Amino acid sequence: MTDIKTVGIVGAGQMGSGIAHVCALAGYDVLLNDISPDQIRQGLAQIERNMVRQVARGLITQEAMETGFKRIRAADDIAAVGATDLAIEAATENEDTKKAIFKALHPHLLADTLLASNTSSISITRLASSTDRPERFIGLHFMNPVPVMKLVEIIRGIATDVGTYETAVNFAKSLGKTTANAEDFPAFIVNRVLVPMINEAIYTLYEGVGTVDAIDTALKLGANHPMGPLELGDFIGLDTILSIMNVLHDGLADSKYRPCPLLVKYVEAGWLGKKVGRGFYDYRGEAPVPTR
């Protein structure tokens, strides 16, 4: 099994920065890369803010924060990521984008570098087949927000070898995470169940069964969910929800996975959720206000 000491992450958005955060606190040296240097700076700033919040809540010490944050370095050149023990792709949920990242990494990889994708729905076998090392490729699906959520789904492609799998499980556990093994089917376990529920909530809104507020209140109080499905969709990103529904619909050819037309409209309008200030709620004021 590979002894992981250095971790490279491509994608410095919410997921990539969260993965960098937990890796650094667990003692790994981390390189954080993104196509946008500004996004790397924003990612590092977000990590620092989240660590400060953890110190304030007594979850980590000030010393652990300072030591951990110093372990994370910006990598403006993707070549640096290739020279790590484990390179994790954490880019947008688009298969062509992910394959392009692995292609860019290819000339810079060490012989023993493991490759992982944080994809939440796309075939690990298909992504792995676009690399030179499908046997050393695995899915590591972290949940959002990474520093808070305890689960990592481990997804093996058809060619993933036993050593890669065992290393991945031990790595996830070293971060304080619990692992769940998922077979390489569209959207794996969590999103196979969760995202169609969100899509159904959007259909419920689309068909006029309930308002945004009524649907979210009903699920929070009637099913004891911590967030309503429309609020959760905004938090995840409606573009990501649509991408996952398209993967499910295309991959399983079942009409029950058809994306709701209202979801498509919101994405077309650029109302992608909390990250842009507007989705099923408008976040631009002091308190979120339903947009329908």
Tokens 């899915």, residue located = 139
Instruction: Return d(Cα 286, Cα 239) in angstroms, integer.
Output: 24
- List the catalytic residue out of 141, 231, 243, 249: 141
Q: Are 130 and 102 in contact (CB under 8 A)?
A: yes
Angle among Cα 113, 45, 243 to the nearest 5 degrees reads 60
Instruction: Return d(Cα 154, Cα 90) in angstroms, integer.
Output: 15
Q: Are 270 and 276 in contact (CB under 8 A)?
A: yes
**Residue 225 a catalytic site member:** no
Side chain identity, residue 128: A
**Residue 141 a catalytic site member:** yes
In this structure, the strands spanning 114-117 and 86-89 are parallel
- List the catalytic residue out of 50, 191, 199, 243: 191
- Number of continuous H segments (helices) and E segments (strands) in the chain: 12, 10
**Residue 246 a catalytic site member:** no
Instruction: Return d(Cα 68, Cα 39) in angstroms, integer.
Output: 20
**Residue 249 a catalytic site member:** no
- List the catalytic residue out of 89, 93, 153, 231: 153
Q: Are 83 and 110 in contact (CB under 8 A)?
A: yes
Tokens 């000339």, residue located = 107
- List the catalytic residue out of 17, 120, 121, 123: 120
Residues 6+ apart with CB under 8 A from 180: 151, 152, 153, 154, 189
Q: Are 128 and 101 in contact (CB under 8 A)?
A: no
Structure token digits, residue 156: 């093996």
Q: Are 168 and 140 in contact (CB under 8 A)?
A: yes
Q: Annotated active-site positions, please? A: 120, 141, 153, 191
